[in-house]
Chains A and B, each alone.
Chain A
Amino acid sequence: MATDRIIAVLSGKGGTGKTLVSVNLAACAENATYIDCDTEEPNGHLFLKPTITEQKTIFSEKPVVDQSKCTACGKCVKACAFNALALVGKNLLIFNEVCHSCGLCSAICKQQALVQQQYPIGSVVQGTSKTLQFYSGQMNIGESSAVPIIKELLKKTHEGIVIIDSPPGSGCLVTETIDHADFCLLVAEPTIFGAHNLAMVHELVTLMGKKCAVLLNKTQAGANPSEEYALKHNLKILGSLAYDEHLAQLSSNALLACEEEEQYRQFFSNLLKEVLDASDSHTQR
């Protein structure tokens, strides 16, 4: 069994247990790499308590205007697709919050009045937690796009098993996060909310040509719309984790269930094996 594998854990809906599953899977795999791509609200470090060995600030380029060179010709204002520039009288204003850092304005300014400057948007840390390599990114508060931070996190190639803790949703951050994944594990809650968002991420991963399977979390007596969705769409279900007050307690205190309880070590070790098997097969798309 080949063990070089990038596994992304995602869900669409928030709070279904992505981090719980990611950190426990990573902890059960020897010498693996865990990457927290939920850069808006990263939590993996709370569970894995890594020793941080390196920290790096991530920058984005934003234009700065030299008013002495600017002739207020308005070319940049017209060209900017994001409405990040505006002329008020002869003054050029720049709105960093909506700037996508594409660099076009500087390129087309004949007066060279717009210079791209490095602007910090967040950071990436690297460390170790037992045998695990740990990476996590954090976006600065007030920034709008964490895409460059996620790109930095996923730039390096790693040997062995890589577990990626994905952000919630199904937008650009998730697309960026799972772009290089070999396999997507979709964590779903037993509600119509969970099932609806499962359907959305299932559509996304299918569009991106990724193999995937489902883990049912917080299951309880009664109907499970997520399970029904998976069965109806021939999505493989790799496991089912019942709602358990004790597990909820452990997680709320950011403790690793697989280290605290033998039954959870067994569950996540088995899940890891299932994930690796499923990502090996070529049938599940």
Chain B
Amino acid sequence: MLQILILSGKGGTGKTTVASSFIKLNQAKAYADCDVDAPNLHLVSGQFPEKQDRDYFGLPKAVIDQDLCNGCNRCYEVCHFDAIVVKDGHYSVNPIACEGCSYCMHVCKANAITMHDEPAGLLHLYTRSDEHFSTATLLMGSGTTGKLVTEVKKQLEGAKETAEVAILDGSPGIGCPVIASLSGVDLALMVAEPSLSGISDLKRVVQSAKQLKVPVAVMVNKHDTNEAICSDIETYCKEEGLPFVGKVPYDTEAVRAINEGKTLIEIESKGSEAMKDAYYKTLQVLKEYKGL
């Protein structure tokens, strides 16, 4: 199973629009939404007869037993995350700030601090005959998302034998969820937007992928909103030796498609043909990288 991850650096460039179209065109047997902070792929993936939910536990959180706490202040002094709250001489933990390192527990001489597992979200695995779709719901305020992304990807392992290609919808940015999503993928397709912000963000996410030795391809969405910057992006790709797999025009119809729960290639849109071209070129690039 080869994995294509859709990234962008900047948000809102059309990652999910591209991912959902590619899933349809590929009749993909395995796909996942790695944007656990703001997942949307399930909204355009149709109905699934079967759904399995599983609790996701992040890192444990510290809890202070008020009866045992003697107010020595050691926990407050050692916490690197400002998670210990002192109010009127009472010590407690802000669970949103606590990262679960247990430093406080180790220094508490009164044994007042214990670590507790707390559910941080739900993993969902949807199936429709041999189709597998993995996604998750993050519990608000539970913080670090990289580990949840890794769990979302692991859920596709069951489709390893049947799926040729897995399509992963990524998240914006370049931080921990993106790094977790990049690990082990065969190609990162960057969906760029022709704006000065878009080109700046594209360069940072391309460098992030390169650092992790993940091959990169680039496409531009809404290319006609700024043709001059679009051609700057093409020039940048040439200079960097990055395969440029296509450009899709802006179409207000895309909004209608999304709101009807459809992908861009299922409606009459001026972007549909360009999206198909980008898909075939992406597969070609993937095969070339893999020497297939």
The residues of A with any CB-CB pair to B shorter than 8 Å are: 12-16, 19, 38, 40-41, 43, 46, 61, 79, 81-82, 97, 100-104, 107-108, 139, 141-146, 167-175, 189-193, 196-197, 200, 203-204, 207-208, 220, 222-223, 225, 243, 245, 248-249, 251-254
Contact = CB atoms under 8 A, between A and B. Distances in A.
19 contacts: A14-B12, A14-B13, A41-B173, A41-B197, A41-B201, A81-B102, A102-B103, A107-B103, A108-B106, A139-B175, A145-B176, A172-B145, A175-B96, A189-B12, A191-B258, A192-B258, A197-B40, A220-B252, A253-B226
- Secondary structure dominating the interface of B: loop
Contacts of B226: 249, 252-253
B256 interface: yes
Interface stretch (B136-144, B237-245, B281-289): B136-144
A222 to B, nearest CB: 6
B85 interface: no
A172 B258 contact: no
Nearest to A176: B97
Nearest to B115: A81
A46 B196 contact: yes
B40 A169 contact: no
B37 A141 contact: no
Nearest to B59: A81
B3 interface: no
A173 B172 CA distance: 13
- Secondary structure dominating the interface of A: loop
Given A13-B38, A253-B196, 14 more contacts: A14-B10, A14-B173, A40-B172, A40-B174, A40-B204, A41-B197, A81-B60, A97-B179, A103-B80, A104-B101, A104-B106, A107-B78, A139-B175, A249-B226
Contact of A175 (B40, B143, B177, B204): B143
Given A14-B38, A145-B176, A167-B173, A252 B194 contact: yes
Interface string B185-219: 00000000111111011001101100110000000
B173 A16 contact: no
Contacts, number: 196
B203 to A, nearest CB: 10
B134 interface: no
B18 to A, nearest CB: 13
Interface in B1-18: 8-13, 16
B103 A103 contact: yes
Contact of A144 (B138, B143, B179, B259): B179
B12 A41 contact: no
Nearest to B250: A248
A252 to B, nearest CB: 4
Scoring B11, B102, B193, B201 by chain A CB atoms within 10 A of each residue's CB, the highest score goes to B11
Given A14-B172, A104-B102, A254 B80 contact: no
Interface of B: 8-13, 16, 35-40, 43, 59-60, 78, 80-81, 96, 99-103, 106-107, 138, 140-141, 143-146, 171-179, 193-198, 200-201, 204-205, 207-208, 211-212, 225-226, 229, 252, 255-256, 258-259, 261
B78 A103 contact: yes
Q: Which 4 A-B pairs have the closest CB atoms?
A: A14-B11, A15-B12, A169-B37, A102-B101
Given A14-B12, A207-B141, A41 B172 contact: yes
B103 A104 contact: yes
B211 A192 contact: no
A168 B255 contact: no
A243 B38 CA distance: 23
Contact of B173 (A12, A40, A61, A252): A40
Given A141-B204, A141-B208, A190 B255 contact: yes
A102 B99 contact: yes
Contacts of A200: 38, 140
B40 A13 contact: yes
Contacts of A175: 96, 141, 143
Contact of A252 (B36, B144, B171, B196): B196
A81 B171 CA distance: 25
Contacts of B43: 192-193, 196
B78 A81 contact: no
Contacts of A168: 11, 37-38, 171-173
B147 to A, nearest CB: 9
Scoring B193, B196, B255 by chain A CB atoms within 10 A of each residue's CB, the highest score goes to B255
B81 A102 contact: yes
A132 to B, nearest CB: 19
Contacts of B193: 15, 252
B45 to A, nearest CB: 12
